[in-house]
């Protein structure tokens, strides 16, 4: 039987992965559970892993997979394997409507900014249920500054093209019209802070007019070798 904190964290991780395609960062988990430090999150994740509810993806730093969920109808005493659950509506839609091939527009830095988005270099399939309104494209992630958000070096991120985004969203930001980076967005008065999801990296702060939003993250594709 799970403790209340373990139960709440497991559902938070599950809901976030279902919504965004990536596991939440340790900071997001800490804030959601109102804990004072990330060490408490580490302990909860270890406990959930030991009980078979979570799995850390091999060779994928801090990337999490929900294996099973508490059975709410049974007061959390029983569990339901993710393999036994019926597909969620989004999954059903993807299976019935199929997929589409979208352009892979080059690499995006999850570290320090690199050159701006390139021309199309390949095509990558995506479930139609991932797509909202407007144009979408893939970028290949280079670097590990977003790994606490479950975005790893070599991942393909699905981007919805837009020039606006809400605070807290992960965006493609174009700096000074020639360097693109993938970061979480935060506005601070007349400046924009691009936030890394890895304590080894410093956040980047620029005057607002130096940053243009090129798109926002809506999904993630990962190849296993």
Q: From CA 117, how far away is CA 165, in angstroms rounded?
A: 18
Q: Is 212 assigned a catalytic role?
A: no
Copy the structure tokens of residue 195.
């936030």
Copy the structure tokens of residue 166.
């809400």
Contact 94, 125 (CB under 8 A): no
Longest dimension (CA), the chain: 55
Q: For residue 153, how many other CB atoms are within 10 A of its CB?
A: 16
CA distances from 69 to 21, 44, 77, 140 (A): 17, 15, 11, 31
Copy the structure tokens of residue 168.
């807290």
Tokens 């070096």 locate to 153
Q: From CA 160, how far away is CA 136, in angstroms rounded?
A: 4
Copy the structure tokens of residue 187.
């506005």
Q: Is 183 assigned a catalytic role?
A: yes
**Marked catalytic residue, from 68, 183, 188, 221:** 183
Q: From CA 130, how far away is CA 221, in angstroms rounded?
A: 11
**Marked catalytic residue, from 23, 129, 145, 221:** 145
Catalytic residues: 145, 183
């Amino acid at each position: 039987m799970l403790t209340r904190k373990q139960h709440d964290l497991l559902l938070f991780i599950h809901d976030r992965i279902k919504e965004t395609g990536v596991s939440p960062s340790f900071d997001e988990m800490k804030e959601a559970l109102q804990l004072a430090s990330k060490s408490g999150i580490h302990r909860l994740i270890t406990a959930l892993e030991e009980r078979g509810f979570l799995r850390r993806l091999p060779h994928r730093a801090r990337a999490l997979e929900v294996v099973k969920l508490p059975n709410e109808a049974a007061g959390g005493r029983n569990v339901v394997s993710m393999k036994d659950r019926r597909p969620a509506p989004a999954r059903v839609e993807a299976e019935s409507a199929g997929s589409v091939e979208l352009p892979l527009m080059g690499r995006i830095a999850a570290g320090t900014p690199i050159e701006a988005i390139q021309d199309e270099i390949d095509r990558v399939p995506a479930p139609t249920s991932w797509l909202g309104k407007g144009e979408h494209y893939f970028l290949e992630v280079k670097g590990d500054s977003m790994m606490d958000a479950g975005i790893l070096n070599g991942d393909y991120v699905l981007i919805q093209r837009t020039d606006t985004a809400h605070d807290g969203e992960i965006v493609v930001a174009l700096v000074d019209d020639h360097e693109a980076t993938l970061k979480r967005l935060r506005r601070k008065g007349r400046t924009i802070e691009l936030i890394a999801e890895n304590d080894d990296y410093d956040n980047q702060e620029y005057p607002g007019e130096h940053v243009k939003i090129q798109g926002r993250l809506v999904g993630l594709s990962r190849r296993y070798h």
